[in-house]
């Protein structure tokens, strides 16, 4: 009766399953027990890691915790504030950050992209122990816009920059754009919203290296010419001695026959080399950079 029952049970089990059971209860038993022990340890470790706060404790240790000092970046000399500290404070990154966080690089990239001095985030890379390398493209001041409220720094695209980062002495070193009757439409880090400001910024950027050499004082947008396209304006340069120089359109304007900024600068420098100054013999004069002739001389008495 017993042998018949055993034969009946073995006949019910598939051949493969029977071999597996014989292996488990036979020579494979130590391997199975070892595997079960490993699984038990892994389960216990996962329970402690996520349930008992071990994970939070480890990730907040010094070799994982990210602070403003852990962020490595090259900051240009025209920026005097600590961008890292400002980003961590304004973007709510002052809580615990760990290099083990999956979204850490994206969070830091998004935070830096909101700073008014940052034009673009090129790369964010995290390392162990806690270190995050950030590669940024910074906005560079090229001009100061003079309005009744004071002087406002802008970059070459007419984007408003932080005013508090410039002392009065530093602001005086930059080209100045005057006769602007508008105020910025947005906040710092956003475009001024006036095409005259954008065109003036482009000219100021082109003249940056020769502004003091040519003894220029400020830049003035003139009335829009009927020949101009869209809302483009012509501009006039004013020297420290009072000479007015018709510059024409900004470098970004698409006006047929307009000289390039490099050609205009070359003509001005040649004029200074030949005459010693941009001023006239009797004081301020009017020049046209396209012709470099003296169409008229100021009748004001020489000081």
CA proximity to 88, closest of 64, 112, 65, 63: 112
Which residues sit opposite 280 in a β-bridge?
A: 283
Which residue ranges form the domains of the chain, and what is each CATH number? 68-138 (3.10.20.310), 143-297 (3.40.50)
pLDDT in tens, 15-58: 555 555 565 556 655 665 566 555 656 565 555 545 545 455 55
Estimate the crossing angle of helix 104-113 against helix 83-90, to 10 degrees.
110
Give the three-class secondary structure for 275: helix
pTM score, two decimals? 0.74
pLDDT of residue 58: 53
Measured distance CA(59)–CA(96) in Å, rounded: 9
pLDDT at 303: 40
Nearest to 104 by CA among 59, 73, 45: 59
> Which stretches of the chain score pLDDT less than 70?
1-62, 91-92, 94-95, 223-231, 293-303
What is the helix (H) or strand (E) element at residue 62, kind and residue range? none
């Amino acid at each position: 009766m017993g042998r018949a029952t055993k034969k009946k049970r073995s006949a019910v089990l598939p051949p493969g399953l029977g071999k597996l059971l014989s292996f488990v209860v036979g020579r494979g038993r130590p391997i199975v027990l070892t595997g079960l022990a490993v699984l038990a340890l892994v389960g216990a470790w996962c329970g402690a890691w996520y349930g008992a706060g071990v994970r939070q404790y480890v990730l907040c240790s010094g070799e994982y915790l990210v602070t403003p000092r852990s962020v490595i970046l090259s900051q240009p000399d025209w920026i005097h504030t600590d961008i890292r500290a400002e980003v961590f404070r304004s973007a709510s990154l002052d809580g615990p950050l760990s290099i083990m966080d999956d979204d850490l690089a994206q969070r830091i990239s998004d935070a830096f992209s909101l700073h008014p001095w940052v034009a673009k985030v090129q790369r964010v890379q995290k390392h162990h122990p806690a270190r995050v390398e950030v590669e940024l493209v910074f906005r560079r001041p090229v001009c100061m816009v003079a309005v009744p409220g004071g002087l406002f720094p802008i970059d070459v695209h007419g984007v408003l920059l932080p005013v508090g980062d410039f002392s009065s002495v530093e602001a005086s070193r930059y080209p100045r754009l005057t006769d602007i009757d508008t105020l910025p439409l947005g906040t710092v880090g956003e475009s001024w919203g006036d095409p005259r400001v954008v065109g003036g910024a482009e000219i100021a950027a082109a003249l940056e290296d020769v502004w003091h050499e040519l003894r220029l004082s400020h830049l003035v947008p003139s009335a829009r010419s009927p020949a101009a396209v869209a809302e483009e304006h012509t501009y006039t340069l004013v020297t420290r001695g009072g000479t007015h120089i018709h510059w024409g359109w900004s470098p970004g304007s698409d006006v047929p026959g307009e000289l390039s900024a490099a050609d205009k600068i070359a003509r001005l420098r040649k004029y200074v080399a030949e005459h010693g100054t941009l001023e006239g013999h009797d004081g301020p004069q009017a020049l046209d950079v396209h012709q470099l002739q003296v169409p008229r001389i100021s009748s004001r008495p020489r000081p």
